[in-house]
Amino acid sequence: MGKTIITRHMMRVRTVLALYAALLLESAKIDFDAKELLDGAYELDGRTDGLNSIPPVTWEGLDPEFRACAVKALVNQNEIAQAISEYLDGWAFDRLPLVTRAIMLVAYTESVLVKSAPKQVAINEALVILKQFGSESEVRYVNAVLEQAISKALNVPNDYKGPGKVHVDLKDLEPDRQYIQSILDGEAAKVQSEAEEESAKKE
């Protein structure tokens, strides 16, 4: 059997899951080392449910553009959240499901901050990943919001023809898929355990 070729889509999915892991730990108020977390998230076993066709990759083996994307999305998440929230009607970025936030962070970062993918490629890929790991009912508003936020940031024509801010309906916001949670809960527990061990050593 030949060596698996890791495509840009696969790296993009891995980057979304790495960001998801970081958001999960932040929401649980668990301190973590970003480098260790990213190393672990990219190397998660691809045989886990939902990742059967997405092989693991080492941080060193990752395309430099996606390494930059993961780091910049983490570092600039507040700025990105503000840019995206501008187009959410009566809603805030930090109230969206974690997996949706991770997907939007990666799409925005890849197109605007790293400039490694054209706007439409970044948005289309975000929607594909959203259908796989998030909720298909979120596709409409995620598409419209990313289109407007990225177009404004890049100062390019905006293809969205709607009213501007996009209304988000509570029924569209399904909880994160359980298998995504289970994939990364193990990583969260590992980081927490290591932090507790380190704390115990200092005492």
CA atoms within 13 A on the CB side of 32: 28
Q: State CA 39 to chain mean position distance.
A: 15
Say how many C-beta atoms besides its own lie within 10 A of residue 32's C-beta: 22
Is 135 within 8 Å of 101 (Cβ atoms)? Answer: no
* pLDDT(188) > 60: no
Say how many C-beta atoms besides its own lie within 10 A of residue 137's C-beta: 13
For each of the domains in the chain, give its residue range(s) and CATH number, in order of start.
8-192 (1.10.940.10)
Q: State CA 197 to chain mean position distance.
A: 29
Express each pLDDT in 155-174 by its tens digit. 999 988 887 888 887 666 65
Confidence of residue 85 (pLDDT cuts 50, 70, 90): very high
At residue 179, the pLDDT reads 47
Going through 68-186 in order, the beta strands assigned E by DSSP cover 88-89, 166-167
Can you tell me the distance from the alpha carbon of 4 to that of 51, in angstroms, rounded to the nearest whole number? 14
At residue 1, the pLDDT reads 44
Express each pLDDT in 12-45 by its tens digit. 998 998 999 899 889 888 888 888 888 888 887 6
Is 102 within 8 Å of 81 (Cβ atoms)? Answer: no
Total-model pTM: 0.82
Strand partners, 40: none
Confidence of residue 184 (pLDDT cuts 50, 70, 90): low
Closest CA to 11 of 52, 81, 74, 70: 70
Express each pLDDT in 91-123 by its tens digit. 889 989 899 999 999 999 999 999 999 999 999
* pLDDT(186) > 70: no
